[in-house]
A and B are shown apart, each in its own frame.
Chain A
């Protein structure tokens, strides 16, 4: 494991499953053996307001929040929120916004957007597939695991391109 810290910022609006997405990410990094911190917001903000979640993993993590201009990967669920959050992106960081339209087209229902986008993200990260699969199994209720694994892999394929 190298010393590098990986910073990921997820953002969208309440009800889009942003926290579930960062939860999958967090668990995958835990299964890969990293020290992981993930921040989220609960309560009032979730009532249709802006929702943002940061995941940081590496050997030692101090702050759970990514500082502006430091995010390696920006995962936006909504165009408006993307505009707000793009200040987090570091120069040369990877912005997944170009995949948002494709993602929305590819999924059967908006509730799969989170898993799909995490699939896209997974193609860019050095975390083994079985960690992701274990993460999905941990995060979703039994009856939803199979469907989410499928959606995740669809996303992963898109991310490969």
Chain B
């Protein structure tokens, strides 16, 4: 548990050694933040954990990202500065409110922090969130280091209020999980805006939304002008033979290899500062665009008619690590090295292992999703057969059974994941008369992301007691025919129960209940 408040309030400027995520938290705190909401997800989790250490803030683990986004947005519409944080795939879950919040705008600063995971250190895909800024027509900032993350967050709140818009701050794993020394500053005080009724701004029915859309287009043009002037977009003219246009952590990697080159570092990656880019391209003899993952900057600069070099498309996959920079800059094809890393696996004595041993023994086809239990795909458990996204363990059981009604198919979901997005799938299964067993692997914690509380544990982000969600009653209310609670480490009892349920023509939920080994 963080005790962030201690460090911040002691002195006027205190030196700290913070991760990018902690820097986001401190920056937001210094900017007068009041409310923060998130659902955990590596590499973003520590932002909220750190914020929870500031006792004067209202901070919550929400049930999922859509809920988190809406509560935080609601707070900003209500008139206090607020923040929503998530991992890249978490933003997908929040896309519905995100798209329309671009229309409504806010009454007090609202910042969306999204952490991408190039290299997929802890994720199921490698999506590049920068495209969201174009799609949603929202400004996006990209810090290149933890120090900058703290500064950019503060700037993001200013931009949000000045332009009446949510602002996206995009981090990557390397920035989120790098620690750097930095100075802390005093917290700014912000007043709560009055709760005015303004239906034309906050009720997005077609008639009002059309007017708001016009404002969105105007706003992006104003932001373009801002992008030309802001110090977030930094020009460094050194040797004019070679000039890099870059952003994010990549800037720091290139600086190691080409310390004498010239740079245009885009700290504001959307909208683009076209004039500045043209000017820079005129100043240097050769322009090289270097960015991690997708050709986001490249695609735009190509529309400006500027001649430039960029990385080969083989570099679109994976992290653009320092070792790869020279080859990428020279336009070579990426050489893939198979690093024989030790794969992660279920901890010794993990209760999930017992559940999967039973499923394997009975030869079940197991639809799964994301949590520690995904590791049961690998040997020695070798008993999980699909994983696409959170909650899909429940819905894939239903879908797969449509193709193979007579096969022994089951679904598996964790306690946190069930609350996040499994419960809707269970209601759907009951409503549409689907059959099979849904296992809720209830280890009483959100383990995969390092051990966060959730509604089913009955504790808040600050480990305070709250209303505890009763999973059994919930599943019965959803319409499951049977709901059993059984400890999977009682092997015989658990085996017998599963064997009985798999042979019934029913929709059954088995709550496999045993606490995670990592819980103290």
Query: Interface residues, chain A, CB within 8 Å of chain B?
Result: 13-14, 23, 26-27, 30, 34-50, 61-68, 80-81, 84
Contact = CB atoms under 8 A, between A and B. Distances in A.
Contacts of B181: 30, 34-36
A41 B178 CA distance: 9
A41 B251 CA distance: 20
Contacts of B43: 42-43
B449 A43 contact: yes
Interface stretch (B54-62, B340-348, B460-468): B340-348
A47 B121 contact: no
Q: Closest 4 A-B residue pairs measured CB to CB?
A: A43-B42, A43-B122, A49-B344, A47-B344
Interface stretch (B201-209, B252-260, B433-441): B252-260
A44 B344 contact: yes
A42 B17 contact: no
Contacts of B347: 47-48
Contacts of B342: 13, 48-50, 80-81
A14 B344 contact: yes
Contacts, number: 111
B256 A42 contact: no
A44 B178 contact: no
A64 B323 contact: no
A63 B253 contact: yes
Given A30-B15, A36-B180, A37-B178, A67 B256 contact: yes
A62 B253 contact: yes
Contact of A36 (B17, B122, B252, B341): B17
Given A36-B179, A84-B340, 6 more contacts: A14-B344, A48-B342, A63-B249, A64-B180, A68-B323, A84-B339
B450 interface: yes
Interface string B479-507: 00000000000000000000000000000
Interface of B: 15, 17, 19, 42-43, 45-46, 121-122, 145, 173-174, 177-181, 249, 251-253, 255-256, 321-323, 339-347, 372, 375, 448-450
Nearest to B121: A41
A2 B342 CA distance: 38
Contacts of A40: 19, 177-179
20 contacts: A14-B344, A36-B17, A40-B178, A40-B179, A42-B45, A43-B121, A43-B122, A43-B448, A47-B345, A47-B347, A47-B375, A48-B344, A50-B341, A62-B251, A62-B252, A62-B256, A63-B255, A64-B174, A65-B253, A65-B321
A44 B180 CA distance: 23
Contacts of A36: 17, 179-181
Given A39-B178, A65-B174, A67-B322, A47 B372 contact: yes
A68 B327 CA distance: 14
A50 to B, nearest CB: 4
A45 B375 CA distance: 11
Most B-side CB within 10 Å, residue of A23, A39, A44: A44
B344 to A, nearest CB: 4
A151 to B, nearest CB: 22
Contacts of A43: 42-43, 45, 121-122, 448-450
Given A62-B256, A80-B342, A26 B179 contact: yes
